[in-house]
Amino acid sequence: MSSASPSHPVVAVIGGGPAGLMAAERLAQAGVSVRVYDAMPSVGRKFLLAGIGGMNITHSESAEPFLGRYREAAPWVGQWLQRLDGPALRDWIHGLGIDTFVGSSGRVFPTDMKAAPLLRAWLKRLRESGVTLHPRHRWLGWDGQQLLFDTPEGPLQTAADAVVLALGGGSWARLGSDGAWVPWLRERGVEVRELRPANCGFTTVWSDHLRQRFAGQPLKQVIARVIAVDGQCHERRGECVVTEDGLEGSLVYALSAELRELIDNHGQAELQLDLAPDRSQSQLAQLLALPRKGQSLAAVLRKRAGLDALKTALLHECLGKEQLAEPQRLAAGIKGLSIRLTGTRPLDEAISSAGGVTGPALDEQLMLKNLPGVFCAGEMLDWEAPTGGYLLTACFASGLVAAEGVIRWLGASSSTSTNDNA
């Protein structure tokens, strides 16, 4: 990068989400002049929206299973978490004057469940440390060695001694994460994997009856299973929602990586649902074999198997008449109802994205090998994780790692310059 000031280094942080703001804080602590640029009217827009239903900041899970949530990227993300893991992130939040608690699911929340107070306290501390925020500055790439921005006052060109790119992935474009940066980095020889939906809904083909009668209704307390491409069985318990053309919600999001890979490889994915997770198949078969005494199948399923109208409708949707009529086969269907998924919902509807700048394109400090002085952090990197605090934790941690990489790089550059002058 071209020098902004030979005596006092200036670092441009592009992207005002958790990764970018964490990088800005660490840089300011090191005495660096930090300018944060964001395309939106204010920073942290996606962070705030994600916290509307309750700001799940991290997870209390122990280190080994926590790290396993990052799948094949676990060794890479694990390096970031050595600098800032879940407990350390909670301590950092407490340092802002925000208390946290652990929910029944192990998820960690601010005591008031809101993102806004946390963000306000954080921005106050950043401003007091000298960080300057530049909203409505949409990055347009480079013009030679200069950073180019579109601003309300027109095009802006500026220089920096180092740059942290924290541009987000490709989901929620209305909040700034539109993936527009992908071709700009590829043009400069940076390897970027295609951005794909993660923590997303999936499509299937429902009957008119199911779609018209049950779209939008929650499917509560089921176990979802999927046999991944590598043959491993992944299983989660929770809830999801039936949509007009498929399924979405936290239970489906937790298995989205495996389901997406199956669709990529085979054109479809099979999701198995256990509609009665607290009853065994043999118990169900015995109860369903008892005389009905004039009761309808729906009444029997409700009273003996604990199935509501939506679960009963799914059985009619996916099982044939012979299966519904035979207690053993019906019990097997209840414990392993197969739903054929045909695709993902669009990237812009996903909570997050997979793909991005690949690990080999970066050094251990998250600096682009092809662009010395340019560092990357957050969701624009090639990793993914389920919801539950894992996404945010890794974003925060990567921002810290990138900032510390900048500090080392500036120090090395300064030493080289001093030696050259001598």
Tokens of 273: 């649902």
Strands 343-344 and 218-227: unpaired
pLDDT score of 77: 98
Residues 6+ away with beta carbon under 8 Å from 319:
329, 330, 333, 337
Average pLDDT in the chain: 94
pLDDT score of 418: 41
pLDDT score of 344: 97
pLDDT digits (tens, 9 = 90+) for 124-170: 999 999 999 999 999 999 998 899 999 999 999 999 999 999 999 99
Asked which of 51-65, 97-111, 243-257, 307-321 is least confident by mean pLDDT, the reply is 51-65
Tokens of 279: 């009853």
Domains and CATH numbers, the chain: 10-197+354-421 (3.50.50.60), 202-344 (no CATH)
pLDDT digits (tens, 9 = 90+) for 198-224: 999 999 999 999 999 999 999 999 999
pTM of the model: 0.91
Residue 238: strand pairing partners: 222
pLDDT score of 91: 97
- Percent of the chain whose predicted confidence (pLDDT) is above 70: 96
Tokens of 221: 């307390």
**What is the spatial distance between Cα 383 and Cα 375, in angstroms, rounded to a whole number?**
16
